[in-house]
Amino acid sequence: MITPLFLDTRDQRHFSDEARHAIESVCAATGSLVHAHLPMLAKDIELACETGRLVIPETGEMGLAISATRVGWTVDPDREESIASIAREQLRYTLFHELHHLARGWVIYRDEPRTTFMEGVVSEGLATVFERDVGGRSAPWGEYPNNVRDWVDELLALPVTAPYYPWMIQHEDGRRWIGYRAGTFIAEQAIRASNRSAADLVHVPTEEILAMAGIRLNK
């Protein structure tokens, strides 16, 4: 069960009754679908909804895996589309992506420190493939170029402390979603080699996913 929490509950300035109903409906319809593929997820999950402009331009919203039981969701209230419309069009897919992170443990509040930058790359790739193959959204951050192996080599060379934003979101050279796109390639290679799905691989460690994809982790 996914329970929405609205951060402007008192005045309903942005989350109107229509928006709340749309979000609640998407959560109700999506929770059981994802749990069927990722049964290890917590039974009760919260979706913390807020408004803001730090969103994906293509979708008008953005998800964030916060903890094992909470996903954050930001939606731009100033878009031409209404919040209700954005929720109906995009939230379902974002939940598929973020809930895969929760199942894998790729969340902000986690006990284990990162040991390699590739943890994020592989986790985003698996979640993107899960979002596509099970949820049904073919996102631009899951499309990679013919020279994607060069991108993988760049990412492998990064230290665990490398900045997240340029390598995962927007690089200064103009490339977008380098880590997501390379991660999708890695996930697809691992899925093909193992004959397992992104859901099946949710708990497989990063180094093993890379090995399945024919990639050696730099140490």
* One domain, residues 10 and 96: yes
* One domain, residues 30 and 89: yes
Residue 110, pLDDT score? 85
* One domain, residues 25 and 56: yes
Mark which of 104, 138, 162 sits at the end of a domain. Answer: 104
Distance (Å, rounded) from C-alpha 142 to C-alpha 181? 5
Distance (Å, rounded) from C-alpha 171 to C-alpha 30? 33
* 2-6 and 45-51 beta bridge pairing: parallel
* One domain, residues 19 and 100: yes
* One domain, residues 141 and 100: no
Residues 6+ apart with CB under 8 A from 83: 14, 15, 16, 19, 22, 51, 75, 77
Whether residue 219 lies inside any domain: the answer is: no
Q: Which of 68, 85, 100 is nearest to 26 (CA)?
A: 85
Whether residue 125 lies inside any domain: the answer is: yes
Whether residue 147 lies inside any domain: the answer is: yes
Whether residue 218 lies inside any domain: the answer is: no
Mark which of 51, 78, 104 sits at the end of a domain. Answer: 104
Residues 6+ apart with CB under 8 A from 101: 65, 107, 123, 127
Number of structural domains the chain divides into:
2
173: left (phi over 0), alpha (psi -120 to 50) or beta: alpha
Residue 11, pLDDT score? 53
pTM of the shown model: 0.94
Whether residue 152 lies inside any domain: the answer is: yes
Residues 6+ apart with CB under 8 A from 157: 218
* One domain, residues 129 and 75: no
For residues 97, 103, 107, 111, the Cα torsion angle rounded to the nearest 10 degrees is -170
Mark which of 104, 132, 150 sits at the end of a domain. Answer: 104
Token pair in block for residue 146? 């013919």
* One domain, residues 98 and 157: no
* 61-67 and 70-75 beta bridge pairing: antiparallel
Domain that holds residue 65: 2-104
Q: What is the DSSP string of 56-113?
A: BTTTTEEEEEEETTEEEEEE-TTSSS-HHHHIIIIIHHHHHHHHHHHHHT-SSS-SSP
* One domain, residues 123 and 99: no
Token pair in block for residue 86? 């954005």
* One domain, residues 15 and 95: yes
Whether residue 112 lies inside any domain: the answer is: no
pLDDT truncated to tens, each residue of the chain (219 aa)? 999 999 865 555 678 999 999 999 999 999 999 999 999 999 999 999 999 899 999 999 999 999 999 999 999 999 999 999 999 999 999 999 999 999 999 999 988 888 899 999 999 999 999 999 999 998 999 999 999 999 999 999 999 999 999 999 999 999 999 999 999 999 999 999 999 999 999 999 999 999 999 998 876
Residue 112, pLDDT score? 82
* One domain, residues 79 and 43: yes
Whether residue 109 lies inside any domain: the answer is: no
Residue 32, pLDDT score? 93
Residue 219, pLDDT score? 62
* One domain, residues 6 and 59: yes
Whether residue 217 lies inside any domain: the answer is: no
* One domain, residues 6 and 100: yes
